[in-house]
C-alpha cells in the first residue's frame, strides 16, 4: 500500500517570505502522480500543483513550485512571496497511475502572518 507522510503538522511564515512544505511517500510503482492540495477554512479542496512521476522537470505554477526527488521519494512544495490568502491546510497526495486510488498525507497547517 502507498503511504504519504507530511512531517510538519503546522508552519508559520511572514507575508512575502518563502516557505517549504515537506512530503515523502512510499511506493513500489514507477508511474504515478503527485499533488498538492490546499484546503482553506471553507473546506473546499483546491488543486495547487501536480507532478507526473515520469517527468524529471519540477512543476511550477506561478508562486508555487515543487522539488520532486523520485529516488528519495520526496515531493516538497515551495511557496514564494507568501500571501495572507495562502493560509490553509495543505495536503500532499499520491495517485496511482491507473487512477485507481488517491492517498493523502496528514496535512500541514500553514499560517501566513502579516
Shortest spacing between CB 78 and another protein, in angstroms: 21
DSSP for the chain reads --EEE---SEEEEETTS-EEE--EEE-S-SSEEEEEEEE-TT---EEEEEEETT--SPPEETTEEEEEETTTTEEEEEE-S--GGG-EEEEEEEEETTS--EEE---EEEEEE-
Q: How far is the CB of 97 from another protein (least distance, A)?
A: 10
Minimum CB separation from another protein for residue 95, in Å? Answer: 7
* For another protein, the closer CB: 28 or 44: 44
Q: Which residues bind another protein (CB under 8 A)?
A: 35, 37, 42-47, 91, 95, 99-107
> 71 or 100, CB closer to another protein?
100
**Of 64 and 104, which has the nearer Cβ to another protein?**
104
Amino acid at each position: 500500500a502507498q503511504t504519504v507522510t507530511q512531517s510538519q503538522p503546522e508552519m508559520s511564515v511572514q507575508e512575502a517570505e518563502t516557505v517549504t512544505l515537506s512530503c515523502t511517500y512510499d511506493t513500489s510503482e514507477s508511474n504515478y502522480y503527485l499533488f498538492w492540495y490546499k484546503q482553506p477554512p471553507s473546506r473546499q479542496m483546491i488543486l495547487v500543483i501536480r507532478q507526473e512521476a515520469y517527468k524529471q522537470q519540477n512543476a511550477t505554477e506561478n508562486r508555487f513550485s515543487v522539488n520532486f526527488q523520485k529516488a528519495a521519494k520526496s515531493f516538497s512544495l515551495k511557496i514564494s512571496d507568501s500571501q495572507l490568502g495562502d493560509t490553509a491546510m495543505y495536503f500532499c497526495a499520491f495517485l496511482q497511475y491507473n487512477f485507481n486510488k488517491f492517498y493523502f498525507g496528514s496535512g500541514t497547517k500553514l499560517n501566513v502572518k502579516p
